[in-house]
Each structure stands twice: as C-alpha cells, then as structure tokens.
Amino acid sequence: MAESSPLENVRVVLCGTSHPGNIGASARAMKTMGLASLYLVNPKRFPAPEADAMATNATDVLERAIVCATLDEALVGTLYAVACTARSRDLSHEVVTAREAGTRLAREAVRGSVALVFGPEKTGLTAEDVSRCSVIAMIPANPDYSSLNLAAAVQIFAYELRQSVEVVDSYPQETYEIAPFEAVENFIQHLEQTLYDIEFLDPQQPKRLIQRMRRLFQRARLEKEEVNILRGILTAAQKARKGNS
C-alpha cells in the first residue's frame, strides 16, 4: 500500500462503547487493515487496562484515540459517514452491504475524511446518530443470530474497505467539493430557525421533522456551493418574513 493511502482518511468512530476490551480489540482489528484513526464518543471507561490487553501490538492506535462528547464532534470535517448497524430500523435510509460500504468509503476517502460509525454493543446506533450519516451499512449475517461482536464488525468493515482501496485507485475523480459534516449541520440549524420564522414549524414539537430534514440532506451529500445556495434561499425567506412582521 502506498505511503499516502486513502486508508489514512478513514476514522472509526465507536459510540458509547461499554466494554473497554472491545475498544482494544477494535484497535487491533483496525491496525491489521491499516486503519489508525480511532474516535471514541462517550466511552464508558477509557483508557483502561482491558483495552490495552486486547489491543496487543495496536496500543499505538489507542494512544492516539480521540475522545469526544458527541458524535457531531467526531464527524467534524468528514465528507461521508457510514452508520454500521446490525438490525433494520424504522427510520428508513439507504441500506448497503459492508462490501458496498467499503467501495463507497474507498472512493470518498481519496478526497477527504470519511467515517465508519458504530453504536454501543447492546443497543446499536440511535436514529439520531444514524440521521447524521450518509448511508446505513449491514453485514449480511445469519438471520437467527446476527449479533457480531463489536470488534468483529469493525474487523469486517475495515477488511472490506482495505480490499476496495486498491481497486478504486483508478476511478475518475469528481471535481466538485463535498460540504463537510459541520457545514451541513449549520445549514440544518439555519433551516430550523427559518422554519420557525416563517411559522412553518411549531417550536413545541419540531424534532421529528428536523431529523427527517437532517437525514435527507446528510444523505444527499451536499456540495459546498449547494449549501451556499440553500442558505441564501433561507436568508431570503427570513427577510421576506421580517418585512412582514
């Protein structure tokens, strides 16, 4: 693998991990596939001796791990995020296999930071978490027992990603610039405010609709220029309303 590999642009984000041993085992799984960038959102316990023990010779990954308070923090700067889940969800999102996720991440990682996002061992990612991601990915598994250990799931996603990276090298490069996660979030906040201003939204119960809009626009992979246009439109709508009040 070349010195500046797209794998360097891949973050593994573990949310609310209960068992530090799983963090260590995940670090080892990552390193075997050439991934080094680990983000921990609210780990129950970290650093921890169990994490070091399970990491064996991948403790360097643990040492450089970044602990965050929120998923948003962990996703700042990413262009594409894959929500890795074991079960289907009501909030519908595009669902791809781990293999397809590997292909897509490999393609995006040529251009910038991307993320593989995993939820807590018992409960998985919340709908809120998923709405921040571009796509859902599942490991096709035994329908009667689909419960992979967290580190085992990390291993498979990292493996699929690595298998894809070399293939994708020769793809034609798209020229437009994808907006980073936080630019889309700022747009969503602007949208929410505008929807209050134009009295479309009831401040008492806005949450579900905003989450839907977040899901739509994170999925759409907005370009930077599109975000600018959309925010221009929002500002115009706000002005129209202000003139009226």
* Binding-site ranges for a second copy (CB under 8 A): 1, 25, 28-29, 31-34, 56-58, 88, 92, 94-95, 97, 99, 138-143, 145-149, 151-152, 155-156, 159, 162-163, 166, 170-172, 174-176, 195, 197-200, 209, 212-213, 216-217, 219-223, 225-226, 229, 232-233, 236-237, 239-241, 243-244
In the complex with a second copy, which residue's Cβ is closer, 36 or 67? 36
In the complex with a second copy, which residue's Cβ is closer, 172 or 203? 172
Min separation Cβ 69 and a second copy, Å = 30
In the complex with a second copy, which residue's Cβ is closer, 145 or 203? 145
Min separation Cβ 3 and a second copy, Å = 12
Min separation Cβ 171 and a second copy, Å = 7
Q: What Å distances lie between residue 234 and 142, 179, 194, CA to CA?
A: 47, 17, 6
Min separation Cβ 2 and a second copy, Å = 12
Min separation Cβ 200 and a second copy, Å = 4
Integer Cα distance of 175 and 21 in angstroms: 42
Integer Cα distance of 146 and 217 in angstroms: 30
- Secondary structure (DSSP) of 154-187: HHHHHHHHHHHHHHHTTSPPP-SPBPPHHHHHHH
In the complex with a second copy, which residue's Cβ is closer, 66 or 240? 240
In the complex with a second copy, which residue's Cβ is closer, 42 or 111? 111
Integer Cα distance of 117 and 197 in angstroms: 34
- CA proximity to 51, closest of 153, 151, 156: 151
Within 10 angstroms of residue 170's Cβ, the number of other Cβ atoms is 6
In the complex with a second copy, which residue's Cβ is closer, 68 or 183? 183
Min separation Cβ 104 and a second copy, Å = 14
Quick one: how far is CA 3 from the chain centroid?
Answer: 25
Integer Cα distance of 204 and 77 in angstroms: 31
- Secondary structure (DSSP) of 190-209: HHHHHHHHTT-S-TTS-HHH
